[in-house]
Amino acid sequence: MTPPPPPPMPTGRFAPSPTGVLHLGNLRTALASWLSARAAGGRWIIRMEDVDGPRCRRDLGEAQLRDLEALGLTSDEPVLWQSGRRGAYRAVLEVLHEADRLYPCACTRKDLLKLASAPHAEDGLRPYPGHCRNRAWEGFDRALRLRLPEGPVAWQDRLLGSQEDDPAALTGDPLLFRRDGCFAYHLAVVVDDGAQGVTEVVRGADLRPVTATQIRLQEALGLPRPAYAHLGLVIAPDGSRLGKRGGALGLAELAARGVGAPEVVGWLGFTLGCLERPEPCAAADLIPRFDWTRVPKGEVRVPAPWAT
């Protein structure tokens, strides 16, 4: 008998889009994923999700890496920029096409808006109703969607516990390739988590509704399912979402108000249940104190003096 393969190295990741400044919510996610990986004796990697066309900029990504480094968070591997991965994504589309899981979608943005009756359309998440499901294959130069199997997906969240979602009700068949030639977020994130051996995905609660859909795509590709943890969002003192109104509340803005990196790390560590009160510290000081059972589930409000 062959012995079972050794368990994979615990691997966490932080995967921002280089479209702006990392705000305190992004930084909290980065620190939590780093602490979780480090506390498990694992590795931690940074990936730049820059597939989304011209909004993504190399200089913004590099500024994000400098901010992470200022907090003591550096990638154990060279940073992966997804814009260099188009060949790999295309190969995966071919695998899915061979398995008859893809179909071309001819809907325009206007069609989709007309079809959308969902009141939560405000957050940009409208389930695709499957209009084009029975369209014949027209080649790889069309918008392509994944045909989801029916039924709900049950999964465990390190923070939120047992979850069950029906991806058809949340996203519908996800877009994997866009009419403009760009690979879509769902495809890139699932393929690269698999390729990089990621065992744990820590991210903001705003991405929780796409988890079941991404699990379906992992299954279609035969990829292992990582553990998930969805953190409550960080909101401004007035309750608004960071970056939407007012300042981005990034490190440079905070530094200009006299709040340095050790103070930011201490406050983030406090909001993650590692410290009894916010006090300046280094990220490494928090590793032995990190425990998912102590991380609060809800939203976190930025201290008022930091935002004014």
Torsion of CA 96, 97, 100, 104, to 10 degrees: 110
133 scored as a contact of Zn ion (CB under 5 A): no
Residues 152, 212: Cα–Cα separation, whole Å = 8
Q: Which stretch binds Zn ion (CB under 5 A): 72-80, 104-112, 169-177, 232-240?
A: 104-112
In angstroms, the CA 89 to CA 294 distance is: 38
The minimum distance between CB 176 and Zn ion, in angstroms, equals 13
Position 148 contacts Zn ion (CB under 5 A): no
Longest CA pairwise span in the chain (Å): 65
* Smallest separation (angstroms) from Zn ion to the CB of 144: 10
**Contacts within 8 Å (CB) and 24+ apart, 105-112:** 105/131, 105/132, 105/135, 105/142, 105/143, 105/144, 105/145, 105/175, 106/132, 106/135, 106/142, 106/143, 107/131, 107/132, 107/143
Nearer to Zn ion among residue 181 and residue 305 (C-beta): 181
97 binds Zn ion (CB under 5 A): no
Residues 51-80 that bind Zn ion (CB under 5 A): none
Q: Give the nearest distance from C-beta 150 to Zn ion in angstroms.
A: 18
Give the C-alpha separation, 30 to 64, whole Å. 11
Q: Indicate the residue among 142 and 208 with the shorter CB distance to Zn ion.
A: 142
Q: How far apart are CA 132 and CA 128, in angstroms?
A: 10
Q: Which is nearer to Zn ion, 32 or 107 (CB)?
A: 107
Q: Which of the ranges 75-83, 103-111, 191-199, 212-220 carries the binding residues for Zn ion, by CB under 5 A?
A: 103-111
Please, which residue, 175 or 307, has the CB nearer to Zn ion? 175
| # binding residues, Zn ion (CB under 5 A) | 4
Q: Residue 37 or residue 105: which is nearer to Zn ion going by CB? A: 105
Alpha-carbon distances of 198 from 25, 41, 47, 226, rounded to whole Å: 21, 14, 11, 7
Using CB under 5 A as the binding rule, whether residue 131 contacts Zn ion is answered as: yes
Contacts of 214 (CB under 8 A, 6+ apart): 186, 189, 190
DSSP secondary structure code for residue 9 in this structure: P
* Chain residues 180-209 in contact with Zn ion, contact rule CB under 5 A: none
Give the Cβ contact number of residue 9 at 10 Å: 12
The region of 10-18, 128-136, 227-235, 243-251 touching Zn ion under the rule CB under 5 A is: 128-136
Among 105, 176, 231, 236, binds Zn ion (CB under 5 A): 105
Least distance from Zn ion to the Cβ atom of residue 293, Å: 44
| Count of CB atoms situated within 10 Å of the CB of 299 | 14
User: Least distance in Å: CB of 106 to Zn ion?
Assistant: 6
Name the minimum Å distance from CB 142 to Zn ion: 10
Binding residue (CB under 5 A) for Zn ion from 15, 35, 73, 107 = 107
Q: Please state the closest distance from residue 39 (CB atom) to Zn ion, in A.
A: 44
N residues, the chain? 308
Stretch of 98-106, 226-234, 249-257, 261-269 contacting Zn ion, by CB under 5 A: 98-106
Decide if residue 221 touches Zn ion (CB under 5 A). Answer: no
Q: By three-state DSSP, how is residue 75 classified? A: coil
Among 41, 46, 50, smallest CA distance to 67 is for: 46
Which parts of this chain interact with Zn ion (CB under 5 A)? 105, 107, 131-132
